[in-house]
Amino acid sequence: EPREIELVGGIRGELGGAGVADLEEAAAAIPEQLAAGYTTICFKPSQFIDDPRELGGLCRRLVRLTAG
C-alpha cells in the first residue's frame, strides 16, 4: 500500500565563508516537502553548528521555523 510508505525529505545547508550554513535558508525547503506528504525531515546538524552543545538549541530553532 503506497500510503503506508514513509516519505523522508531533508534540508541541505549551503556552506559559505561563515563556517556554518544558514538554518533559516535551508528550512525554507521544509513547507513544500510537508505539503507533498513528507512526514520526516532529516538534516546533518554539523552543517549548522560548530559546537555539539548547541544541538538542543538548533533542534528547537528548526521546530519553531517549521511550525511557522
User: pLDDT per residue over 14-63, tens digit each?
Assistant: 887 768 999 999 999 999 999 999 999 999 999 999 999 999 999 999 99
User: Cα–Cα distance between 53 and 37 in angstroms, integer?
Assistant: 32
Is the CB of residue 41 less than 8 Å from the CB of residue 10? yes
Integer angstrom CA distances of residue 53 from 30, 45, 48: 24, 11, 12
Per domain, the residue ranges of the chain are: 2-67
pTM: 0.83
Q: According to the model, what pLDDT value does residue 28 have?
A: 96
More confident residue, 23 or 2: 23
User: Cα–Cα distance between 52 and 58 in angstroms, integer?
Assistant: 10
Is the CB of residue 20 less than 8 Å from the CB of residue 47? yes
User: Cα–Cα distance between 8 and 24 in angstroms, integer?
Assistant: 20
